[in-house]
Amino acid sequence: MTESIFPQEGLTISLFEKFIDSFLNLGYEFIGPADIIDGIIKHDVKYGMLTFDDGYFNNTWIQEVLHKYRTPAVFFVTTGLMMENEKIWSDVIHFERKKRNSPDDEIHKEIVSLNPVPVAKIKDYITKEFGSKALQPHGDEDRFLTPAELKEFALDPFVIIGNHTHSHEVLGNLPAEKTKAEIETSQSILTEIIGKAPDFISYPYGSHSRQVVDTAKEFGFKLGITTIQKKNSLPLGNKYNMELRRFNPIASNGKFKIDKLRSSFQLKTMLKEILQ
């Protein structure tokens, strides 16, 4: 078994464990969404919440680490990709361009330029560029969970399942009725598989607007996760619960996005040392 959790970002199981261990040694406590929703967090404690988007099968490989450190993690699942067993288009472009030795900055620009485009048109573009099989996973490292695997995964007490829409569309670009359909379809599928409706959502690509947030609230969501690269200050309050910030400390080739981390010098130093 390969140990890459997110090959595109260079995150491995051993690196993930170092990350968890280092934060715990600095006095952080890892929590789940319910701790925020129920308001049991204390203002004088340092907290972290682990989140994984999309619903990759390889996310199951970190369960041993979660159990070792008794640390919960939230996994936001894109139900359409799970049901169709397709790769996310951005992963396809990254994989195919890397095979062709394209520079990382050019790959990033291509992905960003396609963000406003509907997913169906992006799939057509990928088929023309790379062939009809480009969207197919190559193995356990880049495939999605099956419904049966998700059901079993969700039984783990340290695993929390959230909504990541049905098609991974950029919600901020969609009209209200399509936004509603994306969330509702995913919510229905997840409820059927795991036996309960998630009450937290991660917006694909972090794209959200007042209309998106209001639609999410209509479905009973109590937390919404963005990709705004900042920490959340306590107390949060209901005003901020639907637009929680987060940061991804890992960039391409395993380099930390230290410039994006708004935190203490001690924490920045620790993060740099993990990758040395």
- Which range has highest mean pLDDT (20-34, 171-185, 251-265)? 171-185
Residues 6+ apart with CB under 8 A from 155: none
pLDDT category at 271 given cuts 50, 70, 90 is low
Residues 6+ apart with CB under 8 A from 81: 54, 55, 87, 88, 144, 167, 168
Number of neighbours of residue 48 by Cβ within 10 angstroms:
17
pTM: 0.87
pLDDT at site 75: 96
Residue 124 reports pLDDT greater than 70: yes
Average pLDDT, the chain: 86
pLDDT category at 223 given cuts 50, 70, 90 is very high
Residue 256 reports pLDDT greater than 80: no
- Strand arrangement, sheet containing 73-77: 50-54, 73-77, 159-163, 200-202, 223-225
Mean pLDDT value across residues 146-175: 96
- 7-28 per-position pLDDT tens digit: 556 678 888 888 899 889 888 9
- 68-121 per-position pLDDT tens digit: 999 999 999 999 999 999 998 988 998 999 999 999 899 989 998 998 899 999
- 210-222 per-position pLDDT tens digit: 999 999 999 999 9
Distance (Å, whole) CA 136 – CA 151: 23
Distance (Å, whole) CA 241 – CA 257: 24
To the nearest whole percent, how much of the chain has pLDDT over 90? 60
What tokens does 24 get? 């715990």
Mean pLDDT value across residues 241-264: 61
Mean pLDDT value across residues 162-185: 95
Residue 137 reports pLDDT greater than 50: yes
Least reliable range by pLDDT among 9-13, 23-27, 167-171, 231-235? 9-13
Residue 274 reports pLDDT greater than 90: no
HEC string of the chain equals CCCEEEHHHCEEHHHHHHHHHHHHHCCEEECCHHHHHCCCCCCCCEEECEEEEECEHHHHHHHHHHHHHCCCEEEEECHHHHHHCCCCHHHHHHHHHHHCCCCHHHHHHHHHHHCCCCHHHHHHHHHHHHCCCCCCCCCCCCCECCHHHHHHHCCCCCEEEEECCCCCCCHHHCCHHHHHHHHHHHHHHHHHHHCCCCCEEECHHHCCCHHHHHHHHHCCCCEEECCCCCCCCCCCCHHHHCCECCCCCECHHHCECHHHCCCCHHHHHHHHHHCC
What tokens does 132 get? 């009809």
pLDDT category at 272 given cuts 50, 70, 90 is low
Residue 3 reports pLDDT greater than 70: no
pLDDT at site 259: 44
- 153-163 per-position pLDDT tens digit: 999 999 999 99
pLDDT at site 184: 97
pLDDT at site 135: 93
pLDDT at site 142: 87
CA dihedral over 235, 34, 56, 19, signed as positive or negative: positive
CA distances from 171 to 5, 72, 77, 208, 222 (A): 26, 27, 15, 6, 18
